[in-house]
Amino acid sequence: MTWLKKFTIAITFTILTFLIFVIGVIYSLSTKQYINDIVFYSSIPVAISLFYLSSYLIINSNVFLGLPYIEYNKNNIKVEFLDKVKYEAEIEAIENLIIYEKPYLKQGFSINELSLKLGLPAKLVSFLINSHFDKNFNDFINSYRVSYVVDSIKAGNLNNYTLYALATQAGFSNKTSFVNAFKKLHNTTPSQFITNIESEITENRQPIS
């Protein structure tokens, strides 16, 4: 993993610079040389390495989330099948969070945000969504957004809101992404879908002769 290599290099550099600092202090004490200069110059690389390490962790905080799950992609071997028993708890956590908290209603909701909410690394979340739900992250999230719009239509919310307003409430950022996601799931446009629903309602209201 690229992030793991960078993290390991940062840790190694920090340790080495600290060792140089310790050796410098010990040398100055043993030779009875003026310690201030030695401590000052040997502390510079330590300070630089600590600054680099802390900056890296601040920018890439999800590194900590990935540590417990390194083995799932060990040695960068591509996993061809999903061990559902091994990841049963993680899959259930994804489903529960999506269904009950509805984070997809936020426009621009990303897989990194989902991974942070779950306390799982983004790569693992992506792997589970692709393998278990057979969708990429965008299609996975958009399927829930489309379902939200469909439920709103069936609930009669079109009497108070436009179709695009309902799509915006569902988390879509623009009309094009909404229409494309809708057509992918229902093989028809949202407008035609509404027409079909209205036709069904009309037919159900007709009296039986």
User: What is the per-residue DSSP string for 179-202?
Assistant: HHHHHHHHSS-HHHHHHHHHHHHH
Task: Determine contact, residues 81/134, Cβ cutoff 8 Å.
Answer: no
**Total-model pTM:** 0.60
Radius of gyration of the chain (CA): 28
Tell me, what's the pLDDT at 201? 64
The pLDDT, as a whole number, for residue 105 is 96
Q: What is the pLDDT of residue 64?
A: 54
Q: What is the mean pLDDT of residues 93-109?
A: 95
The 10s digit of each residue's pLDDT in 163-188 is: 999 999 999 999 999 999 999 999 99
Mean pLDDT along residues 185-201: 87
Confirm if 135 and 89 have CB atoms less than 8 A apart. Answer: no
Give the span between the Cα atoms of 169 and 152, in whole angstroms: 10
Rounded to whole angstroms, what are the CA distances from 27 to 18, 39, 133, 149? 14, 10, 61, 72
Quick one: pLDDT at residue 83?
53
Query: Among 16-30, 106-120, 170-184, which is the least confidently predicted range?
Result: 16-30
Contact assessment for residue 178 and residue 167, using Cβ atoms and an 8 Å cutoff = yes
Q: Does the pLDDT at position 1 exceed 50?
A: no
- Reported as a single tens digit per residue, the pLDDT across 64-98 is 555 444 444 444 434 444 555 578 889 999 999 99
Query: Where is 141: in which H helix or E strand?
Result: helix 137-154
Helices (H), 60-136: 63-66, 88-96, 111-118, 122-132
Cβ burial of 78 (10 Å; 0-12, 13-18, 19+) is: exposed
